[in-house]
Amino acid sequence: MSDQETTTTTTAGSGGLAGVTDGSIGGGPTTPTQLKKVKKQKVLLMGKSGSGKSSMRSIIFSNYLARDTRRLGATIDIDLSHVKFLGNLTLNLWDCGGQEAFMENYLSQQRAHVFSNVGVLIYIFDIESRDVERDLATYVNIILALVQYSREAQVFVLIHKMDLIPPTMREEVFVQRVALVRKKTAEAVAIFRKGSLSQSQQSQSSHLPQSHQQQSQPGATTSPTATLPQDLEIGMQLFATSIWDQSLYKAWASIIHDLVPNLAVIETQLASMGAAIDADEILLFERISFLVVSKWTSREGDNNPYGDRFERMSNILKSWKHTCSKFTGTPRNTEQFSEFEYKMGNHFSMFVTQFTANTYILVCMPPGEARFNSAKLNVAAVRPWFKFLDGPGSGTAVAGGGPVQSAYGTAGSNYQVTGS
């Protein structure tokens, strides 16, 4: 079914959908005042040259295949790109070339320019790097600059190129590296605190001669945000990644997860829809990157033993998109497909369909033709309730009696929800 088709005639029976009786999802339509406006986030991508920054950016946001990244040249200075993510989030990606001369420049002349107003720092370590000590020393300097200018920034550390480590050793190598990075981060925080403390002592005892005042961290100058250093905490998450498997999608889905505006609204509405259509699981993907924006899992679905199924689905659907592009001769960044169905005998059924202008939705449910068809109709019918995903002014509120009502309210339909 294409995105243009609508479902206004053949609908579920009036008693068929548990939990949706008033034509609303999640307790009523989302009003514009409940929704946050467009958000811009400055995202720094840093790490030494060749660690894989541009590769992952190109795969996630520009539809590159992993093998295409071999052709990427070293990034000169900073490669700035603006990625529109859903309708109301713009990621300003600063892909910072990692050659030493550039790194030194970011830490000195460009310090305030690079490290001010940062929402997220993504720091990438090449697990194959020979000079770990030097990499960690650079990392400490970057963290110091970050906390100096953007204390609230979140830090994501990716231990990258894990495919180059034998599978049996990956876990151990990752755990060791995580311990090292955490230790270095704590050291950076301690240096920063000491520096800030001495700065405040300096200002309190400014009557002392200059030579008696403690020196702060070399290269660090005081910033307006450095006034309360004692409660400094760095919100940090670490991931093992590789461009050759789904691990990249897991890390990047976590990175964008906290940035997406109106997440609570999305989650509530997905949960109501999931329960109403008797699904096991619902995943909401961003249209270009196929990163999972939000998900809902039923109690039954929670028993699924495959904890990595979300990033696997991102990877599978993106590969499928590439395959479609290859065989149709259309550019990779075009839509490629509007719907994908999979019925696994008496195990489960699922479909993936274009949902709003910026999203695809995956619905997984127990088998059954009637349940499947009904779910598809109902997913189509609730699209207007999720229009806010396409940005401000995209039909945030739908009056009761809108499409949901018409889809659910007609008696004597051909479609029934079964087995609920």
Ligand X SMILES: Nc1nc2c(ncn2[C@@H]2O[C@H](COP(=O)(O)OP(=O)(O)OP(=O)(O)O)[C@@H](O)[C@H]2O)c(=O)[nH]1
Interface with ligand X, residue 49, by CB under 6 A = yes
- Please state the closest distance from residue 95 (CB atom) to Mg ion, in A: 6
Binding segment (CB under 6 A) for ligand X, from list 69-77, 195-203, 260-268, 284-292: 69-77
Residue 327 CB neighbours (<10 A):
8
- 62 is a site residue for ligand X (CB under 6 A): no
Site for ligand X (CB under 6 A): which residue of 42, 53, 170, 321?
53
Supply the DSSP string of 46-82, one letter for each residue.
Answer: EESTTSSHHHHHHHHHH---GGGGGGPPPPPSEEEEE
Closest separation in Å from C-beta 128 to ligand X:
8
Residue 49: contacted member of ligand X, Mg ion, none (CB under 5 to 8 Å, by partner type): ligand X
Between the alpha carbon of residue 258 and those of residues 41, 97, 254, the distances in Å are 11, 26, 7
Residues 89-118 that bind ligand X (CB under 6 A): 97-99
Among the listed residues 51, 75, 150, 349, the single contact to Mg ion using CB under 5 A: 75
Q: In the range 154-183, which residues lie near ligand X by CB under 6 A? A: 160-161, 163-164
User: For ligand X, which residue of 7, 63, 75, 141 counts as binding (CB under 6 A)?
Assistant: 75
Exactly one of 16, 23, 52, 229 binds ligand X (CB under 6 A); that residue is: 52
Size of the site for Mg ion (CB under 5 A): 2
- The 3-state DSSP class for residue 44 equals strand
Residue 72 has, within 13 A of its CA and on its CB side, a CA count of 23
- The one of ligand X, Mg ion, none whose footprint includes residue 55, by CB under 5 to 8 A per kind, is ligand X
In this structure, what is the dihedral angle of CA atoms 234, 237, 243, 244, given to the nearest 10 degrees? 160
Return the residue of 11, 41, 51, 54 that touches Mg ion, per CB under 5 A.
54
74 touches ligand X by CB under 6 A: yes
The first and second tokens of residue 354, run together, are: 């274009």
In the range 220-279, which residues lie near ligand X by CB under 6 A? 242-244
What whole-number distance in Å separates Cα of residue 330 and Cα of residue 389?
26
Q: How would you list the strands of the sheet with 39-47, edge to edge?
A: 78-85, 89-96, 39-47, 120-126, 154-160, 236-240
Q: What are 130's two structure tokens?
A: 């020979």
Check: CB of residue 59 under 8 Å from CB of residue 65: yes
Residues making contact with Mg ion (CB under 5 A): 54, 75
Residues making contact with ligand X (CB under 6 A): 47, 49-55, 69-70, 72, 74-75, 97-99, 160-161, 163-164, 242-244
